[in-house]
Every structure is written in structure tokens, then in C-alpha cells.
Structure 1
Amino acid sequence: MTSKDPNLEPAAFSSTTKTAKVLAVPVAFNEEKKIGLVLDRFTSGLVDEILVIDDASTDKTPQVVKEKGVKLISHQSQQGVGAAIRTAIEYARNNGFEIIIILAGNDKDRPNEIPKLLKPIIEEGYDFVQGSRYLPGGAYGNMPFYRRIATKIHPLLFSFVTNKWVTDSTNGFRAIRLSIFSDKHIDINQNWLDKYELEPYIMYKAIKLGYRFKEVAVTKIYPPKELGYTKMKPITGWWSILRPIFLLATGIKK
């Protein structure tokens, strides 16, 4: 990232006085080279607690997290990012948190932008705040060409079936009011949601059920390719993100 390219500059953000109990959750699988960078970006008082969900990493990811003194929950076998987020939501609800922040464990997101996600929930009554690299003020960098295409197509389909304009439906940087998971129409415990399906499922349900939804501009900088910029497989991974749109819109899945 360089100051010469405005597309790569971190977006400006406004701080907010935090009055809700907030849990931040980086989800990680084999991120020993990057999870420490993510945790180092958190400043004191930004959130009430950080919880790393480790989806059965085979490298030193758990060791790095423990050395940082951060709360860690490790799956005994790899279950998928959806299952990891489900574990985080369960922990958050069982421990009195009111808002959960989900972010990448590979240093794509910027924790200093968390106040931008929190402010609409705490001060304006929103229930789901989605980060968008494509809104004015947002930024992205090092994104592979196929990713740029895919992350433009998905929002078009998602917006069509929800009748709600969304610019960045695949961005995993978001804040959610945990009380929405008390709604019996949001069933995150379905096995088909274990991989990449859970995130679009929750967003779809939140919008269709009338919860207050908003996007805010954020930064998304992919790590260098040699460090591994994604764990997602091009075909199966993107189908995993796409299929909730069709399954929910057609009523095949609830």
C-alpha cells in the first residue's frame, strides 16, 4: 500500500463512545504469519474482548494467539468458516455480549475501522452493519482480478433477490447486533451453513426479516500472494457463497 494510490489509502473513520459490550472475532485457519499482525492492530479499549476462532490449524496459529494473550477457541477438526462464526456467536451470546464484530484472520481488514461499524448500531439503532470496500471512502488493494469480478457480480444477484441495494455482500468485515439470533426465523445451526454459506445467509435473513441494515466504507487490503491471500478455492468456494442466494430465494432452504 502506498500513499501515491488513493485506492489503497485507509478510509478515514469517526470514533464513537462505546456503550455496548462488544466482541471482535478474527477467524483463522493456518494463519501463523498473519494472525499476530491482526491482533497487534487492536488498540486498548477498542472492543471489550477479542476471540480468535481457530478452525483446526495445522501450523502455529494457536501458539501465536496464546503468546499474544488473546482468548482462543480451537476446533478439533476443520469445519469451515461458517462453523467457526457459529462458535463465536454461541460464545458471544453465552457471555453477555451485545454486538459481534467479524473480521478476517489474515490481515485483510483494519481493526481501527471498527468504530465505523459500531456507530450505526450504538447511536442509530441499526442491527447489521456491513463493511464495503466499494462505497465512496472505501479502499482495496492487492485484490486478484477474478476477485474483483466476483465481488461485483455477487452484490448484483444478492441485491436483486433481497430488493435491497448492497455494494459488497462478500466482505467478511461486519458488525451484528446479537439479539437478532433470538429470532426463530434465523437458524444458523443448519449443517449446510458450515462453510462460506453462513455469512450471506445471515445477511439475507436480516434484510428480508426487516432488521435495520446499513453499509459503511471500509478498507480491504489483500496480503501478498507469497503469504497466501485467501484459503478460498475459486470454484467450490464461490459456489458456497452463491448458493444461499438461490436456495433461500426459491424457498428450498429456510
Structure 2
Amino acid sequence: MSEPETRGDDERAPRYRIAWQRPRRHRQAICVFVINEGEKIRKQLRAMKEHADIIDLIVADGGSTDGSLDAGIMEEAGATALLVKTGPGKLSAQMRMAMDHCMNEGYEGIVVIDGNGKDGLDAIPSFVAALEDGWDHVQGSRFIPGGHHENTPLSRLLAVRLLHAPMISLASGFRYTDTTNGFRAYSRKLLTDPRVSVFRPCFDRYQLHYHLAIESVRRGFRVKELPVSRVYPASGKTPTKIRGFGGLVAVLRQLLDVCLGKYRAAGH
């Protein structure tokens, strides 16, 4: 295991610390985005060890303060790296952190997934296979044959089916069915293309997922959906980082901005 080091400059990627690392073993990595998920992330990481023979596990922590992530759970899960964001930004900044690390480490592609325990991990091999087969942007979907969802809040179901997916489909020219699903895969070719230009500080909230879904199609990359499952708790609080009406309005504004081309790379 190497000594911890600091990377990022808040332009290409937010400042971050490599809190734990061991040598790369595979061509692809799966990056788990997490912040203060407690025992849920520890349970998920243990379960992900089942796939350690085909993909490297990298945890992209947005700055958790709950003590859920440490060297012990990294070892137990067979992880390859723990990255801790110390610079500004939210989900898209975490994504840029993970992408920066993975490109620096020489990975040929990455799978991304949330760390709140809602996603079915049995789909991981199909995403790895898609990257190996040359697909550049792979979107997980609950709503295609083989997909599954349970206890999805009605407001979310209506939002993705009637608003979010149609808007991104119209902007991209590809019929997406589940554009709020964070289970995705990206090729190195897509992430390093200057026409897509993912390493910019303007991507700090939720914009980067939307941008990649649209620009991957517009720039002629190979795009498809794969079936996944997502199960929400049957009772209790819905796991989300979007807080209140103001948070929802902000997300919708970001979606509209991306669909209208606000984040397209200059000159492209």
C-alpha cells in the first residue's frame, strides 16, 4: 500500500486525498460515490468483494464525517483505493475526482454506482462486459426488460418517466428510459475526449451525469442501456441528497441548462 498523497487543483478535479491505496489489478474500476452513509456503505462494500476478481473497487468519498470509511473496511472489501474529496463541489466534483484518479492510474473504463445500498450489485459483470466490448456510455435502467424496481416514490417515478428522461432523450437524440439512475459506465475514450471535456470546475452538482448522457450521443460514441434493479426502503426516510423543494428546483435548473447546451465545450 502506497503512502497517502494529495491530488487535484480545483480546476481539472477538486483537491482530494488518496487516503488508502493498493496497486491496480484490472483494466476497469468501479467507483462508489458516498458521503455519510454509515453502515449501509460498509454492507455494500462487503457485498461488492464478490466482484473483486473482475474489477477494481474505488471509493470516492465526498468528505464523510461519520467514521464509516477506514482502512479496515477497505481491506475487508478488497478495495483498491479510498479517495477523500477536500476541495469544493458535490456529486459532479466527486465524479471528477474519481475520473481524474482512474485516468491517472491507467484504467480503460469505469463503472459508477451510488453508495446508499439501493442498487442491485449483480449487474456489475454486465457493465464490465459492455466496457470490454467497446461501449462508451452505458446507462443502467430499471424500466427496460430485465430491469426491476421496488418502493420507488411516486414523485420520483413520475419525474424520471415524464420529465427527466424525455428531456435528455430529446437533447441527445437517444431514447433513454432511466436518466436519474446513477448506475453507469464510461470508457476512457469518452472521458478523455476534448469535445466532451469532463474535467472542468463548472461540473460541481449533478450536471456531469446529464452532460455525459447527452454528449456521448452527440459526439458519436457507442451508447446503450442495461437492465438494473433499484430497491428503496419499504418504510422510513427515502435515501437522497436532494433536500426540500429548493433542492428539487436546483436540480431541474441544472437539467435544463445541460439540455440547452450550457456546458458544451467551447469550440466544439
TM above 0.5: yes
Using the alignment, how far apart are the partners of 2:117 and 2:191 within structure 1?
A: 27
Residue 190 in 1 paired to residue 219 in 2? Answer: no
Aligned partner of 2:226: which letter?
V
1:209-224 matches, within 5 Å, as 209-223=219-233
Check whether the contact 1:127–1:212 (CA below 8 A) recurs between aligned residues: yes
Residue 57 in 1 paired to residue 60 in 2? Answer: no
Measured on the aligned residues, the alpha-carbon RMSD in Å equals: 2.3
1:45-86 CA deviation, whole Å, 9 max, x = no partner?
A: 443311111111121222374463532111225621111111
Aligned twin of 1:41: 47
For residue 121 of structure 1, report the CA deviation from its aligned partner: 2.8
1:153-192 matches, within 5 Å, as 153-192=163-202
Aligned twin of 1:94: 104
TM-score (norm 1): 0.83
- Identical aligned residues as a percent: 28
Aligned twin of 2:94: 84
1:11-50 CA deviation, whole Å, 9 max, x = no partner?
A: xxxxxxxxx7110111001011210121122214443311
Aligned twin of 1:118: 128
Using the alignment, how far apart are the partners of 1:65 and 1:79 within structure 2?
A: 25
- Count matched residues: 235
Check whether the contact 1:197–1:243 (CA below 8 A) recurs between aligned residues: no
Aligned partner of 2:102: which letter?
A
- When residues 186 and 238 of structure 1 are mapped into structure 2, their CA distance, relative to the original with a 3 A threshold, is farther
Gaps of 5+ in 2: 1-25
Aligned partner of 2:58: which letter?
L
Aligned twin of 2:5: none
Using the alignment, how far apart are the partners of 1:151 and 1:79 within structure 2?
A: 24
Using the alignment, how far apart are the partners of 1:47 and 1:244 within structure 2?
A: 35
1:94-120 CA deviation, whole Å, 9 max, x = no partner?
A: 111111010010011122211222223
TM-score (norm 2): 0.79
Using the alignment, how far apart are the partners of 2:248 and 2:217 within structure 1?
A: 21
Gaps of 5+ in 1: 1-19
Check whether the contact 1:35–1:65 (CA below 8 A) recurs between aligned residues: no
For residue 183 of structure 1, report the CA deviation from its aligned partner: 1.1
Using the alignment, how far apart are the partners of 2:246 and 2:108 within structure 1?
A: 33
